[in-house]
C-alpha cells in the first residue's frame, strides 16, 4: 500500500503479510526528515519485512518513489539543482537493495517542472541517472492539471523512454489516477510501446498474463470484452452477483462493441457504476476508442478551468460568518500577488503578505484588552488549487464538525480566516499570530479529471513558521462523492482529541478511527475532544 513507512512497520508488527515496503524518498537528509523518516527508519522497515521470510525469488522488499522538486519543495535542497538532489535519492534507494525505484516525474507541478518540455527533459535525466547508478528504475510518465502539459506530451516522453530502455511505466485505467488527481500512462500505452518497439513483458509477468488468460503471445488481449475466469468471482461479489446478468440494452453503447454486425456486451462496463475510474473503455486496435479520447480531453479542459476559477470572497465570507457569529471572518492574502505567481512560486503562497500580518497583529492587540486566554483551534480556509472545492464543501463540512464537537467541549474558536492564493503552510503563520493551540487548514486540492471539487484538511499542533509537512495530519478528498462530511468530521474530531492528549500532530499521530472496523467490530462513533 502507498502509505508511510512507519505505518507499514506497524502493519508488520501486527502480523500483516507485507511483501513490499513503500516510501517516497529524497536526496538530502533534510528532505527525508520533512517526510517524517530517516535512513534508520528505512533500515528498520527493511529488517521487519525480511523477518517475514516471504520472498520466493529474492530479498528485494523495498519500493521507493522519487521526483525532481521534492527537495526544493521542502526547502531542503541546500542550493543544489533539482537533478543533483534527484540523483542523490537514487543513492539512498540503492543502499536498501530495492525491487523497484519509480521517478514520478511530473507529479508535483509547474513550480518545479513548468511544462511538457521540462517534464520530458526530467524524465530522460532521471532514467539516465537511474541506469548509471544501477538501480531497478522505472518512470511514472505523468503531469498535473495545473501544469502546462497534456497527454500528447506524455505520449512523446513514453516513446522516448521506451527507446531508451526504461524498465517499467505505470498502468492506470484510462491514464487517470482518481486518487492522486493526476494523469499518467494506461494499460493501452503499455500495449502500444510493446507493439511499436517489439518489447515483451518480463518473463514472470508474461507467464502470469497467459495463465490468467489476459494476453496471448504477449501482444493481443484475449477476448477483450470477456472477464477472465479468475477475476469473475471477486468482481461478481463487488457487483452483488449482477455482473453477468445486466441487460445490455440499459448500458451506454460506447461501452460495447460490434462483432459481425452485432452489438456484443462488454461486462467490464457493469463495474463502471461502482467507480470513477476509467474502466471498461473498450479499444480500437491497441488504443482507445475516439469517444473515450474525446471524453478524456473534455475532462482535462474542465480540470484546467477549475485551477483558474477565482474564489467568490464575498459569498464565502457570508457563509463562514454564520458558523462563528461571535467573531469576524478575517480576509487575508499570501505574498503571491496573482494566480500565475501562485502556481510558480509556492514559497510565496506559504507566507502572509505584510498587510495581512498587520491586520492579524492589530486584531490580537484589540483582543488582549478583553482576554489573555489562548485559542484552542484556528480554522484557515484557503483557495488552494480548486476554489470550487472550497466554495462547495467548506461550509457544510465545518457545520458538521462543530456539531460533532458539540457545545459541551467548550472549544475556544479563533476567528475564521479566509485566505486568497494560500498554500497549506500559510496556516503556520496564521496559527502563530493568533496564538492558537491547533490550526486546521481547509484547502482546495488540485483538480483531477473526475474530482475538480476535492477539499483537503491539514491539522498542525503548536503552529509556527518553519514547520515541515511531517508535523501535520491530512484528511483528503472531502466532498459528497468522496469522503463524506460526516466521516471526515468524525476523523477530524478524533485527531483533535488525540492531538490535545499527546500534544503533537504529524507522523507520530496515527488515525485509529478504522481500527475497530478492521477488527470486524462496530465502529465507535464517540470521538470527542477530552475536556
Which pLDDT belongs to residue 531? 28
pLDDT of 170 over the 80 cut: yes
- 84 and 69 Cβ atoms separated by less than 8 Å: no
Which pLDDT belongs to residue 282? 80
| pLDDT tens readout for residues 298-331 | 999 999 998 988 999 999 999 999 888 888 999 9
Residues constituting the chain:
531
Q: Model confidence at 263, in pLDDT bands (50, 70, 90)?
A: low
Q: In whole angstroms, what is the distance from residue 235 CA to residue 531 CA?
A: 47
- 268 and 173 Cβ atoms separated by less than 8 Å: no
Q: Which residues contact 132 (CB under 8 A, 6 or more apart)?
A: none
| pLDDT tens readout for residues 434-446 | 999 999 999 999 9
pLDDT of 271 over the 90 cut: no
Query: Across all residues in the chain, what is the average pLDDT?
Result: 88
Q: In whole angstroms, what is the distance from residue 506 CA to residue 459 CA?
A: 8
Q: Which residues contact 435 (CB under 8 A, 6 or more apart)?
A: 364, 374, 375
- 424 and 441 Cβ atoms separated by less than 8 Å: yes
Q: In whole angstroms, what is the distance from residue 420 CA to residue 426 CA?
A: 11
Amino acid at each position: 500500500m502507498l502509505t508511510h513507512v512507519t505505518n507499514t512497520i506497524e502493519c508488520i508488527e501486527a502480523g500483516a503479510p507485507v511483501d513490499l515496503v513503500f516510501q517516497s524518498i529524497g536526496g538530502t537528509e533534510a528532505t527525508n526528515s520533512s517526510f517524517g523518516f530517516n535512513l534508520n527508519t528505512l533500515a528498520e522497515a527493511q529488517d521487519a519485512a525480511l523477518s517475514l521470510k516471504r520472498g520466493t525469488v529474492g530479498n528485494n522488499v523495498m519500493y521507493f518513489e522519487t521526483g525532481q522538486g521534492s527537495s526544493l519543495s521542502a526547502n531542503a535542497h541546500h542550493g543544489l539543482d533539482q537533478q543533483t538532489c534527484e540523483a542523490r535519492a537514487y543513492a539512498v534507494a540503492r543502499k536498501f537493495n530495492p525491487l523497484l525505484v519509480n521517478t514520478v516525474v511530473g507529479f508535483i507541478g509547474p513550480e518545479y517542472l513548468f511544462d511538457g518540455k521540462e517534464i520530458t527533459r526530467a524524465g530522460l535525466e532521471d532514467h539516465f541517472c537511474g541506469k548509471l547508478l544501477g538501480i531497478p528504475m522505472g518512470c511514472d510518465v505523468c503531469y498535473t492539471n495545473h501544469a502546462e502539459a497534456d497527454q500528447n506530451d506524455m505520449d512523446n516522453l513514453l516513446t522516448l523512454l521506451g527507446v531508451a530502455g526504461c524498465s517499467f511505466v505505470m498502468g492506470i485505467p484510462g491514464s487517470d489516477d482518481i486518487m492522486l488527481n493526476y494523469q499518467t500512462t494506461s494499460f493501452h500505452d503499455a500495449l502500444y510501446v510493446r507493439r511499436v518497439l517489439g518489447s515483451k513483458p518480463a518473463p514472470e509477468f508474461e507467464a502470469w498474463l497467459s495463465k490468467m488468460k489476459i494476453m496471448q503471445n504477449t501482444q493481443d488481449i484475449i477476448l477483450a470484452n470477456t472477464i477472465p475466469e479468475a477475476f469473475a468471482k471477486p468482481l461478481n461479489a463487488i457487483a452483488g452477483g449482477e455482473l453477468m446478468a445486466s441487460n445490455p440494452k440499459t448500458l451506454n453503447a460506447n461501452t460495447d462493441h460490434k462483432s459481425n454486425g452485432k452489438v456484443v456486451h462488454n461486462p467490464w462496463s457493469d463495474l463502471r457504476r461502482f467507480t470513477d475510474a476509467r474502466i471498461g473503455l473498450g479499444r480500437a486496435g491497441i488504443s482507445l476508442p475516439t469517444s473515450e479520447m474525446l471524453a478524456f480531453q473534455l475532462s482535462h479542459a474542465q480540470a484546467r478551468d477549475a485551477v483558474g476559477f477565482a474564489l467568490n470572497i464575498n459569498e464565502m465570507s457570508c457563509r463562514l460568518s454564520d458558523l462563528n457569529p461571535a467573531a469576524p471572518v478575517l480576509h487575508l492574502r499570501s505574498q503571491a500577488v496573482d494566480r500565475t505567481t501562485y502556481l510558480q512560486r509556492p514559497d510565496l503562497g506559504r507566507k502572509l503578505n505584510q498587510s495581512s500580518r498587520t491586520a492579524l497583529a492589530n486584531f490580537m492587540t484589540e483582543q488582549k484588552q478583553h482576554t489573555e486566554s489562548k485559542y484552542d483551534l484556528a480554522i484557515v480556509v484557503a483557495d488552494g488549487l480548486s476554489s470550487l472545492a472550497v466554495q462547495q464543501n467548506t461550509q457544510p463540512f465545518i457545520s458538521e464538525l462543530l456539531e460533532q464537537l458539540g457545545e459541551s467541549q467548550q472549544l475556544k474558536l479563533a476567528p475564521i480566516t479566509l485566505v486568497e492564493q494560500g498554500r497549506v503552510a500559510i496556516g503556520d503563520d496564521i496559527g502563530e499570530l493568533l496564538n492558537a493551540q491547533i490550526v486546521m487548514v481547509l484547502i482546495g486540492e488540485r483538480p483531477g479529471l473526475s474530482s475538480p471539487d476535492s477539499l483537503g484538511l491539514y491539522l498542525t499542533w503548536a503552529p509556527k513558521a518553519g514547520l515541515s509537512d511531517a508535523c501535520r495530519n491530512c484528511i483528503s478528498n472531502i466532498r459528497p462523492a468522496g469522503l463524506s462530511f460526516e466521516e471526515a468530521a468524525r476523523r477530524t474530531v478524533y485527531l483533535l482529541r488525540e492531538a490535545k492528549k499527546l500534544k503533537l500532530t504529524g507522523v507520530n499521530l496515527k488515525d485509529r478511527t478504522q481500527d475497530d472496523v478492521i477488527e470486524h467490530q462496530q465502529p465507535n462513533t464517540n470521538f470527542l475532544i477530552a475536556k
